[in-house]
Amino acid sequence: MGSLIELEKYAQINHVPIIQKDGLEFIINYIKENNVQSVLEIGTAIGYSAINMALINKNIQITTIERNETMYAEARKNIRKFNLQKQITLILGDALDKNVQGQYDLIFIDAAKAQYIKFFEKYKHNLAPKGVIITDNLNFHGLTKAPETIHSKNLRALVNKINKYKEFLKNNKEYKTDFYQVGDGITISKKIEKG
């Protein structure tokens, strides 16, 4: 039997950046209200968000991609514990190298923050009509507000990349994005219908 609390504990002890509680609740509500049936997730980690989404109802199908072998193995084990192998398809590999077939109602981008624009541009082609792209960690723990105060060069570069992604979303002519101050900062991007 799987236990979500066990997964949360494991994440905390091992510093796995699983989605925050209110961010998760926000996405779960979106899935319910919009009757989302298919999800493509970029960044599985230990499977926590994928398992939570699959548990909403049995008709939801999730494909999730993870490049780290240790995380992948842990996610595989967890998905089995919850007996969700039929609902969750786990792919090992870099999401920028893999090609996924099919169209998804929801694409959840939650992997390497520096690559967000690339993930968006690549996977928008897998979006179903009226589908949305949801991105997590746009606040990056509050750091995106004042990048000049960050001393570590690498961290500053990462934060600047996240801010570039925000600009990319704001200026996007194809997709309209709403920003939500929930969890660690979440966006919902929808294709603009021409008409």
Decide which of ligand SAH, Mg ion, none touches 137; Cβ closer than 5 to 8 Å per partner kind. Answer: Mg ion
HEC states along the chain? CCCHHHHHHHHHHCCCCCCCHHHHHHHHHHHHHCCCCEEEEECCCCCHHHHHHHCCCCCCEEEEEECCHHHHHHHHHHHHHCCCCCCEEEEECCCCCCCCCCCEEEEEECCCHHHHHHHHHHHHHHEEEEEEEEECCCCCCCHHHCHHHCCCHHHHHHHHHHHHHHHHHHCCCCEEEEEECCCCCEEEEEECCCC
Candidates 28-36, 55-63, 111-119, 139-147: pick the segment binding ligand SAH (CB under 6 A).
111-119
Contact map string, positions 49 to 78, toward Mg ion, x by CB under 5 A: ------------------------------
Scan residues 135-164 and list those touching Mg ion (CB under 5 A). 136-137
25-44 residues in contact with ligand SAH (CB under 6 A) are: 43
Residue type at 113? K
Evaluate whether 95 touches 68 at the Cβ level (below 8 Å).
no
Which range, of 76-84, 87-95, 134-142, 160-168, touches Mg ion by CB under 5 A?
Answer: 134-142
For position 113 contacting ligand SAH by CB under 6 A, the verdict is no
Give 111 or 133: the residue with its C-beta nearer to ligand SAH.
111
| CA nearest neighbour of 66 among 5, 18, 10, 134 | 18
**For ligand SAH, which stretch binds (CB under 6 A), given 67-75, 99-107, 142-150, 185-193?**
67-75
Shortest distance, position 128 Cβ to ligand SAH, whole Å:
20
Does 92 engage in binding with ligand SAH (CB under 6 A)? no
Q: Binders of ligand SAH: how many residues, by CB under 6 A?
A: 19
Distance in Å, CB of 73 to ligand SAH, minimum? 12
Would you say 105 or 110 has its CB closer to ligand SAH? 110
- Pair of tokens at residue 81: 């514990």
